[in-house]
């Protein structure tokens, strides 16, 4: 199919499920800001409908949605240049998701790693929404005909499924209507690992707060978490390749590279041979320098939630001008009488 016929448009989303962390920042938010600086339309979304696939206290969900909006803005997303919106405000997401529920196959959903991880051994007790989650995600992307989706490594499989859904829809209805979206997974920190266990992803839901750096952590907390991060007794090697079997050390080097905008080779040229007694304080200083202004700006924005709500209302209006005609055309293709 001629993908070139679609105007480049960027979409990405983050769940407002609390504990926005360094992995979200380096793997997603920082990349979003890079995209915003290019000559392309950008849409960023707080996916509140996705968040409720697992239980959320209503008051916490509302707070997390506003806090996430503050996190986007404090990280550099300008709601004038980009469209910043919460998912439930644009009903086209859920409407298109229903169509995609009827396109996607049970087998496709059952193979999703995130489903298997989150549902665990007790899949019978998981919500139906958790199972159908990737069809809603495909709708998020395709209701804007987005061509590029910047994400961390863990979302790659979902974007591939989005392509499968688009391809099956186009094939079944004999149209060339939905683009085959590209995942964009870039930078030194596409998979930031837990500070307590270098084989586990840094995650909002890890019960150990010491496993992650939250964007709401103050400078002392950030420095303490890095000082206490799990490592091994060896100094850093000279070459990055020699970190292959040292997941915790490698993770800290990747974080350093991403925060400082250096390549991992440049970090090793500077830090190779260093003991953690030298490397960790340097990393802590760097993290505080880069993250504290964001934390402070988030706190400032959160003092005026009404302003955040106004920004999101405006974002929804703009988003719907793109999404509504695409949903309308989808209904027409499917044969719904309009």
Binding site for ligand TYM (CB under 6 A): 11-15, 23-24, 27-28, 47, 50, 137, 140-141, 149, 151-152, 154-155, 158, 189-192, 201-202
**How far apart (Å, rounded) are the C-alpha atoms in residues 241 and 239?**
5
Nearer to ligand TYM, 127 or 274 (CB): 127
Indicate if 201 belongs to the active site: yes
Segments of the chain assigned E as strands:
9-14, 41-46, 83-86, 148-150, 182-184
Q: State the first-to-last Cα distance of the chain, in angstroms, to the nearest integer.
A: 28
Minimum distance from residue 23 beta carbon to ligand TYM (Å): 3
Nearer to ligand TYM, 25 or 240 (CB): 25
Contacts of 117 (CB under 8 A, 6+ apart): none
Q: What distance lies between CA 95 and its chain's CA centroid?
A: 22
**How far apart (Å, rounded) are the C-alpha atoms in residues 117 and 214?**
22
Token pair listed for 42: 């950008």
Indicate if 121 belongs to the active site: no
Minimum distance from residue 263 beta carbon to ligand TYM (Å): 18
Nearer to ligand TYM, 40 or 239 (CB): 40
Residue nearest to ligand TYM (CB): 27
Taking alpha carbons only, the member of 222, 223, 248, 255 closest to residue 234 is 248
Minimum distance from residue 320 beta carbon to ligand TYM (Å): 17
**How far apart (Å, rounded) are the C-alpha atoms in residues 88 and 253?**
38
CA angle 193–35–305, rounded 5-degree value:
80
DSSP letters spanning 180-194: -PEEE--SS-SSPBP
Minimum distance from residue 289 beta carbon to ligand TYM (Å): 20
Nearer to ligand TYM, 94 or 274 (CB): 94
Nearer to ligand TYM, 11 or 279 (CB): 11
Q: Please identify which of the residues 156, 168, 204, 230 carries the catalytic annotation.
A: 204
Token pair listed for 188: 């030194």
Nearer to ligand TYM, 144 or 279 (CB): 144
148 strand-pairing partners: 10, 182
**How far apart (Å, rounded) are the C-alpha atoms in residues 331 and 337?**
8
Minimum distance from residue 114 beta carbon to ligand TYM (Å): 7
Minimum distance from residue 159 beta carbon to ligand TYM (Å): 7
Token pair listed for 257: 């590279």
Active site (catalytic) residues: 118, 201, 204
């Amino acid at each position: 199919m001629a993908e070139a016929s679609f105007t480049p448009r960027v979409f990405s989303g983050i769940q407002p499920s609390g504990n926005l962390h360094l992995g979200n920042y380096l793997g997603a938010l920082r990349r979003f800001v890079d995209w915003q600086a290019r000559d392309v339309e950008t849409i960023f979304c707080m996916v509140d409908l996705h968040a409720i696939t697992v239980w959320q206290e209503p008051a916490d969900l509302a707070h997390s949605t506003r806090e996430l909006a503050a996190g986007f803005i404090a990280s550099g997303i300008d709601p004038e240049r980009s469209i910043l919106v919460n998912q439930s405000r644009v009903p086209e997401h859920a409407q298109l998701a229903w169509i995609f529920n009827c396109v996607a196959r049970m087998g496709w959903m059952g193979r999703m790693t995130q489903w298997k991880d989150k549902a665990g051994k007790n899949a019978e007790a998981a919500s139906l929404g958790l199972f159908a989650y990737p069809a809603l995600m495909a709708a998020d992307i395709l209701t804007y005909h987005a061509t590029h989706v910047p994400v961390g490594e863990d979302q790659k499989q979902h974007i591939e499924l989005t392509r499968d859904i688009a391809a099956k829809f186009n094939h079944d209805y004999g149209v060339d209507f939905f683009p085959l979206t590209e995942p964009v997974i870039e930078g030194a920190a596409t998979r930031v690992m837990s500070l307590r266990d270098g084989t586990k992803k840094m995650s909002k839901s890890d019960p150990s707060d010491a496993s992650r750096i939250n964007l709401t952590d103050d400078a002392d907390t950030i420095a303490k978490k890095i000082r206490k991060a799990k490592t091994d007794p060896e100094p850093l090697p000279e070459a990055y390749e020699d970190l292959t079997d040292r997941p915790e050390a490698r993770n800290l080097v990747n974080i350093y590279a991403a925060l400082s905008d250096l390549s991992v080779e440049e970090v090793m040229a500077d830090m190779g041979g260093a003991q953690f007694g030298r490397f960790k304080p340097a990393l802590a200083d760097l993290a505080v320098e880069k993250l504290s202004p964001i934390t402070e700006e988030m706190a400032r924005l959160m003092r005026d939630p009404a302003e955040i709500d106004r920004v999101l209302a405006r974002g929804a209006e703009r988003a719907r001008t793109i999404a509504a005609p695409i949903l309308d055309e989808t209904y027409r293709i499917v044969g719904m009488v309009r």
